[in-house]
Amino acid sequence: MSVFHILHLVGSAESDFYCDLSRLYGEECFEVTANPSRYRFSLAYITPDRLWRFPTSLRKEDIDAATPLSLSQAINWIVEQNIDLVLPQMFCLPGMTQYRALFDLLNIPYLGNKADLMALAAHKAQTKAIVALTGVKTPYGELLHKGDTPNLRPPVIIKPANGDNSIGVTLVKTMDEYDAALEKAFQCADEVLVEEYIQLGREVRCGIIVKDGELIGLPLEEYLVNEENNPIRSYEDKLKRNDAGDLIYAAKGNKKSWIVDVKDPATRRVQEIAKQCHQALGCRHYSLFDFRIDPQGQPWFLEAGLYCSFSPKSVIPAMAKEKGISLDELLEIVIKEAIG
């Protein structure tokens, strides 16, 4: 069996926050999926100054010790290494688009969705418009620029059109709260999405993987929300800093999220809608979608998260594990799809 040389693409060209987020997932993936008989791993770490480093590990001291290189120098290094495959683990917009496109130009395959789809899926309004054309229910919304006047009356959700991790998101219950919520969202993006608020029943995510060309629905992950005092998920529900200032998970292992029993009536219905979304967007390898289920049991598409770090705590591996697919097997399935 041949040994694949896999380059883990980590860091951020945009901010220290996204560097920390990428390293949080990337370090676990790099360590847990190591298999010398099957893979040879290398690391590329990008910082907001757009410089590249090729450290021996993702520990801060090893990153600091690595020589910073320009893009042209980095490309020369990559070409000399005979990389077989790239595992992207950058979550900033340039990381999900420009840096994936670079490997298209270098003719090096990578796991996950193509750069143009990542760019589209990062824009929530555009993604909603596409999946809605297939009949998937989505909350009615308005895309605003600074100075625009919204027409929707509260309750509404206001969010940056291209944000993530609930940064800049607000539930507006009265007209008096509108201006502050818009200002908060516009601090994060030039475009803001105002959506009708879907009354809460449940909030779930559904992952899809492709195996031998077949779409496989994974068990749902459900999140701890309630109509009374926690009607939407916030940034604090997802990530936090520890006493040392390091970014850590907030929603893992503390009863803020759990895997839904596959016998739950919502599972099959949401899986079928997720497959519709996957096909409508033209996803490959895997996909991940968020849904709001109203009190009548109707799922509403919220957004797409078309990435996976292959860390044990990443959502798609956690879902796959509940289906009996180990992390090693999941990685093999996606590699096979990527390289044919």
pLDDT of residue 165: 56
pTM, to two decimals: 0.89
Superfamily (CATH) of domain 141-196: ATP-grasp fold, A domain (3.30.1490.20)
pLDDT of residue 225: 83
Taking the domains of the chain in order of start, what are their residue ranges? 4-110, 120-135+199-339, 141-196
Low-confidence ranges of the chain (pLDDT < 50): 235, 237-239, 247-248
Task: Summarize pLDDT for 278-296 with one digit per residue, the tens.
Answer: 999 999 999 999 999 999 9
- Output the CATH code of domain 120-135+199-339: 3.30.470.20
Domain 4-110 annotated CATH 3.40.47.10? no
SS (H, E, C) the chain: CCCEEEEEEEECCCCHHHHHHHHHHHHHHHHHCCCCCCEEEEEEEECCCCCEECCCCCCHHHHHHCCCECHHHHHHHHHHCCCCEEEECCCCHHHHCHHHHHHHHCCCCECCCCHHHHHHHCCHHHHHHHHHCCCCCCCCEEEEECCCCCCCCCCEEEEECCCCCCCCCEEECCHHHHHHHHHHHHCCCCEEEEEECCCCCEEEEEEEEEECCEEEECCCEEECCECCCECCCCHHHCEEECCCCCEEECCCCCCCEEECCCCCHHHHHHHHHHHHHHHHHCCCCEEEEEEEECCCCCEEEEEECCCCCCCCCCHHHHHHHHCCCCHHHHHHHHHHHHHC
